Chain A
Amino acid sequence: MNLPLSRGLKLRGRITLSVAMLSALAILSVTGVGLSFTRRTLSKQIHATLRAEAEGLKDLVERILAEREANVRGWSEDAILRGALLFDTYDKSDAVLAGLVKHHPSLSGFVLFNEQGRAVSASSEALLKSFQGREREVRETAWYRAALEGRFTADALAREKDAAFGKRVLPLAAPVKSPASGARIGVLLAAYDWSQVRDVVKAAMQRARERAQDSFALEVRSEEGTVLFNSRPADAAPLVRPVSQEAINGTDVKDVGDGWHFVATLDAREAYAPLAQAATVALGMLGFFLVLAVAGSWWLARGIARPISALSEAVTHVLEEGDLSHRVEVNSGDEVGELAHAFSRMMEQLRQTTVGLQQGTRVLTGAVAELSQAAEHQERNLSRQAAAIQETQVTAQEIQQTSKMAEERSRAVLQVTERAEEVGRLGEQTLGASIAGLQELHEKVGRLASTILMLGNRTQQIGEIAQTVKDLADQSNMLALNAAIEAVRSGEHGKGFGVVAREIRALADQSIESTDRVRELLDDIGKSIQDTVSMTEKGQQQMQGGLAQIKASGESLRELTSIVKDNAGAARQIAVAVSQQNAGISQIFTAVSDLSSLMEETMQGVQATTRATSSLREAAERMESVARTYRA
């Protein structure tokens, strides 16, 4: 409905208006169609009824007349009547005619006339007397003449009252013939009581009264239009709008009424009275149903619009106040009620979702805060660790340098030892060749003694270096231990570093063991040098005492030479150990460098984690602000 009027209306008004208009339209059209159809049907029915009544009257009158005519013909052939006329004896015929009148109340009387028109026999003596002396008159009547011709006529019916019968009669006269020759010997007159027609139409009038058609009338008119019978009283007022149907008595059945018109008449106002009544009732019903439709549609519209308004209010409230705790109260169980319930369920779910979201956001925010704290802590730790590693790297570099120095020193020791060995050998050779050169030797031994002293000092220095190496190794060990712990704490990223740290530790342990052994050797060397020194001093002291002892000295010298040899071997071993240690320290340095670069990567990773955590925090904060928009 897009009527301009309906645009300004709310749903309730529109539904009410639509239903009312539809109902009015439907009822009006149905009533209109029904009334017009009923009018047509009623008109048809009325005409059919009138025609049926007219036809019925026609058939009835025709039948009665035909029957009476047949009766009269039959009676005219009665042997008694014939015999009476033949033998001019009428006692029996009088009795017969009286009997006939008694048995046929519709006939007013019978009169038997002879050929001269004299009444010879009658159903009653009075009747016979009334025809006395009227032979000529009788012979001139229409019925008598018709009877002579062997037919019936209704001409005499026009007369209001028959003089002989004292009432309006239809004279039915038939010739009486001789049984012997067939010659006419008289005429039998039967007077049909015309007032009997009123009895004939009585049933039809009763039917009309039952149909509530009081204006219904039946008329019989002659071919010329003379009213022969009318059921309406002569003084009755004429009908205003007469509706009539007529039936004409045809000649298919020969009778006195051939050509008569049988007319059934009815007042149209009365005929269509049920229709007018129905229209009034329909109008009343239209009003009633219109009111009912308006009330029903208003109620329906109210039922539809009220929950929708409630829903609309609820949505507006949620939008404006962000309050999801608002409840929609709808008590109807129809589709709109289902919608409201679904909306309520949606609101409830939304509320629960919001509560979950808010709780989740809170938890998320907390977790993010903790995470960022942990990330910061980790970053700090890692920074410290990186610094430590850097220190370790520097220290390792120092150790490397020291280790190289130790190597150089040990090489120098070796050279010295080799030279000592050579010197020993030379001394031995010289001892064997020159005793003279004992002095020189003595000097030389003195130099040797001082050199050995120097060697002892150097050896002591080596021991100190070895101690330093051991300390470094101890420190490496400690660092590797720390690195391993940190690697474990770094998780997946620290695994490789852990392995390296373990290696470093193992190497440091080996370094410590080697340095221990170097110290032991150096201690031995120290002691030997001390002994040599003391022995050289003794030899120097004893050289003066005896040549004999030179041999012993030569022996001692040899012994010394072998010791020196041993010493040289030991120094060589030290050099090898130092060089091995150097390689190990280089490895430590490389490992620490790797560790440092690894730590840098870890740091980058941790920084990325921190960045991600901060953006996560921002997201969590945004979510929380969104979740806070709604009150659950």
Chain B
Amino acid sequence: MWTLVSLLLLANVPPDGAAQMKKVDGLMPELRRMATDPSVVREVKKQNARRVSLESIRQWDEEWRATPALTPLKRQLLGNPCARTLGGYRERLGRVVAEAFVMDNQGALVGATRRTSDYWQGDEPKWRQSFNGGRGGELREKPFFDDSSQSYVVQVSLPVKDGARVIGALTVSLSLLEL
């Protein structure tokens, strides 16, 4: 299935573009390590354990999007251990990683390397497919131009697992031209 998606994606892409996108494959083991990092898993579990209602999440999401200012919630999400772990990976991988964030079992943010546009990603494929009610898999989306990093990125989403159970998801934006 992965190959099929790739072929579809690469149908209209010139060789240089396809070659760049192929380089994502080389980064996948590192991204999987990121998704299975104990601190990331611990933080997701911790947030899942809180069982925040979807209603509250949606309310926070609205508050999140209402202002670009650094609210206490945003600060907490950018400064917690999960975010620090992601930052560590990002530093190691360099400018390739334009962005990385982790979501819980409801699609709400657990930690992020920078301010994302939404707090709640539960309506987006990156969470729906990678979590997929606890049976999610890896997802590579169509590349797009990321205004925040001012570069073309491809977002790769991976399930965060506790053992064999998917408890959340990790999305990493890879800057295609930095690969």
Contact = CB atoms under 8 A, between A and B. Distances in A.
Interface string B2-41: 0000000100111111011100000000000000000000
6 contacts: A83-B151, A89-B145, A89-B152, A91-B144, A179-B177, A183-B15
B176 interface: yes
B13 A87 contact: yes
B142 interface: yes
A79 B13 CA distance: 16
A89 B143 contact: yes
- Max chain B Cβ within 10 angstroms of own Cβ: one of A83, A87, A178, A183: A87
B15 A87 contact: no
B16 A86 contact: yes
B16 A89 contact: no
A613 interface: no
Contacts of A87: 13, 17, 20-21, 143, 152, 154, 176
A248 interface: no
A181 B17 CA distance: 10
B70 to A, nearest CB: 26
A133 B20 CA distance: 29
A88 B145 contact: no
A427 B15 CA distance: 231
A75 to B, nearest CB: 16
Given A179-B177, A180-B19, A85 B14 contact: yes
Nearest to A93: B145
Given A86-B20, A180-B19, A80 B13 contact: no
Nearest to B143: A87
Interface in A69-89: 79-80, 83-89
A224 B177 CA distance: 46
Interface size class of B (residues with CB under 8 A): 20 to 34
B144 A181 contact: no
A86 B17 contact: yes
Interface residues of A, number: 20
A88 B147 CA distance: 17
Nearest to A178: B16
Interface of A: 79-80, 83-89, 91-92, 114-115, 178-181, 183, 185-186
Contacts of B154: 87
Contact of A86 (B9, B144, B147, B152): B152
Most buried by A among B16, B147, B151, B177: B16
Nearest to A116: B12
A185 B152 contact: no
Contacts of B21: 87
A92 to B, nearest CB: 3
A188 B67 CA distance: 38
A180 B18 CA distance: 12
Interface of B: 9, 12-17, 19-21, 142-145, 147, 151-152, 154, 176-177
Contacts of A79: 151, 177
A231 B177 CA distance: 49
A384 B17 CA distance: 178
Contacts of B143: 87-89
A148 to B, nearest CB: 15
Given A87-B20, A178-B14, 13 more contacts: A80-B145, A83-B151, A85-B17, A86-B176, A87-B21, A89-B142, A89-B152, A91-B145, A92-B145, A178-B16, A179-B177, A185-B16, A186-B14
A86 B13 contact: yes
Contacts of A91: 144-145
Contacts of B20: 86-87, 180
Given A83-B176, A89-B152, A185 B145 contact: no
A180 B16 CA distance: 7
B164 to A, nearest CB: 34
Contacts of A84: 145, 152
Nearest to A182: B16
A137 to B, nearest CB: 20
A183 B13 CA distance: 13
B117 to A, nearest CB: 15
Contacts of A179: 177
Contact of B14 (A80, A86, A89): A86
A567 to B, nearest CB: 204
Contacts of A115: 14
A80 B176 CA distance: 12
A85 B152 CA distance: 11
A83 B152 contact: yes
B14 A183 contact: yes
Contacts of A185: 14, 16-17
Nearest to B12: A88
Contacts of B147: 92
Contacts of A85: 14, 17
A88 B145 CA distance: 11
A99 to B, nearest CB: 13
A395 B21 CA distance: 196
B15 to A, nearest CB: 7
Nearest to A180: B16
Nearest to A186: B14
A79 B144 CA distance: 13
B16 A88 contact: no
B32 to A, nearest CB: 23
B177 A181 contact: no
A340 B9 CA distance: 124
Contacts of A183: 14-16
A179 B19 CA distance: 12
Contacts of B15: 181, 183
A423 B13 CA distance: 227
